[in-house]
């Protein structure tokens, strides 16, 4: 409940994050790093102000952290940097931090670390991995697809969807009725809404009691998350490509560029061009300034001199190539 602005710059926070990044060859995005710093602020304050507090953790958290090298390293770094001598306190703080990171989806789904973590929790046969297996199977049945069509990135999306209500209690945040109605009416096709409705009904009738209880308790949350997941899956099946446009131009110039791109790409691929927003998924980010990287490391194409004809032709070639190759397997350096 502490506002993000309450976290103060602290060299130990940065050292803790840097130590994890160096060990796992992984880089936390800005939001994830801020959440880690916020948690450490809460953790240190708790150690300084509370002499006796309840250090029992839900079995789900302990189950997820056992035999897990990611958790072990987080614990070792915490003990090394903060000089914590109380083993019980270290165990509590690092397991709670670990649950927060897992439950709030801060890990990039394409990173090698995430693949390693997925192998660990599946090998450990945790309750969450068992629920995820049922979750995946129900979605494949509802969408009438083969398991091999449901790639790792979608399993990770379902893991993120399921982990939050599994690890945390209380009412999850959800859209206001006005916003939910807007998205249902203007963003998600009727067919996808119908598919998600069928999936929700299947989940509510699942023979897996734990999964059924979680879905019944958080139906609105699951409906929102599954709309996003299924919409993304359907888009990938039709080779729908999302382009983020981030030039430092006036609105009229932005509209001109979008119109020109649509002209050059007409009939080649189903594309959507929108203003670039950090944190959103794009297949290609188009920019006219020195954008060194995007938050999710999407391929970048830089315009030159207000976008010459050569630029449009190059972008057309890139989009056509990307539309023929499964999303996520193309690396472009532009």
Least confident of 13-22, 194-203, 315-324: 315-324
Mean pLDDT, rounded, for 2-20: 70
Q: Which residues have C-beta within 8 Å of that of residue 326, sequence separation ≥ 6?
A: 236
Q: What whole-number distance in Å separates Cα of residue 43 and Cα of residue 95?
A: 12
Classify strands 241-246 and 300-302 as parallel, antiparallel or unpaired. unpaired
Residue 78's pLDDT band (boundaries 50, 70, 90)? confident
Q: Which residues have C-beta within 8 Å of that of residue 68, sequence separation ≥ 6?
A: 98, 117, 120, 121, 124
Highest-confidence segment of 50-64, 93-107, 125-139, 152-166: 125-139
Residue 220's pLDDT band (boundaries 50, 70, 90)? confident
Question: What's the mean per-residue pLDDT of the chain?
Answer: 76
Q: What is the pLDDT of residue 327?
A: 44
User: Is 331's pLDDT higher than 50?
Assistant: no
Query: 199-218 pLDDT, tens per residue?
Result: 999 999 999 999 999 999 88
Q: What is the pLDDT of residue 200?
A: 92
Residue 326's pLDDT band (boundaries 50, 70, 90)? very low
Highest-confidence segment of 202-216, 233-247, 270-284: 202-216
Highest-confidence segment of 93-97, 131-135, 171-175, 285-289: 131-135
Lookup: tokens for 173:
């945040």
Q: What is the pLDDT of residue 209?
A: 93
Q: What is the pLDDT of residue 328?
A: 43
Please state the length of the chain.
334
Alpha carbon 114 to chain centroid distance? 11
Query: 279-313 pLDDT, tens per residue?
Result: 677 778 888 777 667 666 777 777 766 667 777 77
Q: What whole-number distance in Å separates Cα of residue 99 and Cα of residue 75?
A: 13
């Amino acid at each position: 409940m502490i506002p993000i602005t309450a976290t103060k710059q602290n060299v130990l926070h940065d050292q803790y994050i840097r130590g994890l990044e160096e060990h796992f060859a992984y880089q936390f995005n800005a939001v994830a790093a801020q959440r880690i710093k916020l948690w450490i602020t809460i953790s240190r304050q708790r150690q300084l102000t509370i002499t006796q507090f309840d250090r029992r953790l839900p079995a789900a958290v302990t189950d997820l952290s056992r035999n897990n090298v990611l958790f072990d390293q987080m614990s070792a770094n915490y003990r090394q940097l903060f000089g914590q001598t109380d083993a019980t306190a270290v165990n509590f703080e690092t397991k709670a931090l670990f649950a927060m990171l897992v439950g709030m989806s801060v890990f990039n789904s394409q990173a090698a670390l995430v693949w390693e973590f997925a192998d660990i929790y599946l090998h450990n046969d945790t309750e969450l991995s068992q629920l995820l297996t049922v979750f995946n199977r129900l979605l494949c049945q509802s969408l009438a697809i083969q398991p091999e069509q449901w790639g790792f990135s979608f399993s990770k999306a379902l893991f993120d969807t399921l982990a939050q209500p599994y690890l945390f209690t209380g009412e999850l945040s959800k859209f206001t009725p006005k916003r939910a109605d807007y998205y249902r009416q203007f963003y998600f096709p009727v067919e996808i809404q119908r598919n998600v409705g069928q999936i929700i009904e299947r989940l509510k009738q699942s023979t897996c009691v734990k999964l059924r209880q979680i879905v019944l308790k958080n139906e609105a949350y699951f409906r929102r998350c599954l709309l996003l997941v299924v919409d993304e899956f359907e888009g990938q099946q039709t080779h729908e490509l999302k382009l983020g446009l981030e030039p430092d131009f006036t609105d009229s110039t932005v509209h001109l560029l979008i119109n020109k791109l649509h002209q050059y790409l007409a009939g080649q691929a189903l594309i959507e061009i929108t203003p670039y927003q950090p944190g959103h998924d794009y297949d290609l980010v188009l920019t006219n300034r020195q954008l060194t990287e995007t938050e999710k490391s999407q391929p970048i194409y830089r315009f030159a001199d207000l976008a010459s004809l050569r630029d449009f032709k190059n972008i057309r070639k890139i989009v056509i190539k990307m539309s023929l190759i499964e999303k996520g397997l193309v690396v472009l350096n532009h």
